[in-house]
Structure 1
Amino acid sequence: MLPPEAFDREGFLHDLDSWSPEVARQIAAGEGIELGDEHWEVIHLLREYYSSFDSSPAMRPLVKYCALKLGPDKGRSIYLLKLFPGSPAKLGSKIAGLPKPDNCL
């Protein structure tokens, strides 16, 4: 469990290397989300995207990447909104230990 000072005021990690599955569970719990297999699938995909493109995806690229990697049923905003309510790109990136996507408020 990381101390509060490990996060910025919006709850994103200061040090991306301090992320772990346990930290993801800690962040998700703070957002009222219990992580299931579907969440982990998207979290791993977000981390793969960041590793490939050196940035967190905004919503549209996230949807397209999910469709490409996970198939058309999971590459839909409605699917991602069920897993990560509000702003899937922002919330998913936060839980995945990544920086806030550039164009997210």
Structure 2
Amino acid sequence: MPTATYADTTVPVDDEGFFTDPDRWTEPMAGQIAREAGIEALTEQHWKVIRFMRAEYAAKGTGPTVRVLGKTSGVSVKELYQLFPKGPAKTAAKVAGIPKPRGCI
């Protein structure tokens, strides 16, 4: 199984780099993962989405889709694309240390 190292901690990931064990994720890892995804700095709005993604994963076993994110996270779809330009649900899931949401290609 592939691994990645964030904040001096090696964690198991899948072939696309998504965490396979979300319990191994820590907030200090998020900044490095975000930078690798082309996001220079995480703002409060980024953190709002990241925390929402983790809570949804904990409650439902999968991360939300972009549509669900836009309707229920308190961040509009337009703003989601500004925050996570390379695909909001997929990129936010990676930064949040959860597996890729179902339905993401």
TM-score range, shorter-chain basis?
0.7 to 0.9
Distance between the aligned counterparts of 1:48 and 1:17, measured in 2?
12
**Which position in structure 2 is the counterpart of 1:91?**
91
- Scaled by the length of structure 2, the TM-score of the pair is 0.82
Q: 1:9 to 1:59 in 2, by over 3 A?
A: same
Task: Give the CA RMSD over aligned residues.
Answer: 1.5
Identity %: 39
- Residues 21, 98 of structure 2: 8 Å contact kept: no
Does 1:16 find its partner at 2:29?
Answer: no
Distance between the aligned counterparts of 1:16 and 1:54, measured in 2?
11
- Scaled by the length of structure 1, the TM-score of the pair is 0.82
Distance between the aligned counterparts of 1:7 and 1:54, measured in 2?
17
The structure in which a higher percent of residues are strand is 2
Q: Deviations over 1:28-70 (max 9, x none)?
A: 111121211110111111111112222111111111112xxx2
After TM superposition, the structure 1 = structure 2 runs for residues 74-89 of structure 1, keeping only pairs within 5 Å, are 74=75, 76-89=76-89
Distance between the aligned counterparts of 1:58 and 1:51, measured in 2?
15
Q: Unpaired runs of 5+ in structure 1?
A: none
Count of residue correspondences: 97
Distance between the aligned counterparts of 1:64 and 1:13, measured in 2?
25
After TM superposition, the structure 1 = structure 2 runs for residues 42-61 of structure 1, keeping only pairs within 5 Å, are 42-61=49-68
Q: Unpaired runs of 5+ in structure 2?
A: 1-6
Q: 1:93: Cα distance to partner?
A: 0.8
Q: Which amino acid aligns with 1:85?
A: P
Q: Per the alignment, in what secondary structure is the counterpart of residue 46 of structure 1?
A: helix
Distance between the aligned counterparts of 1:80 and 1:36, measured in 2?
12
Q: Which amino acid aligns with 1:41?
A: K
Does 1:37 find its partner at 2:44?
Answer: yes
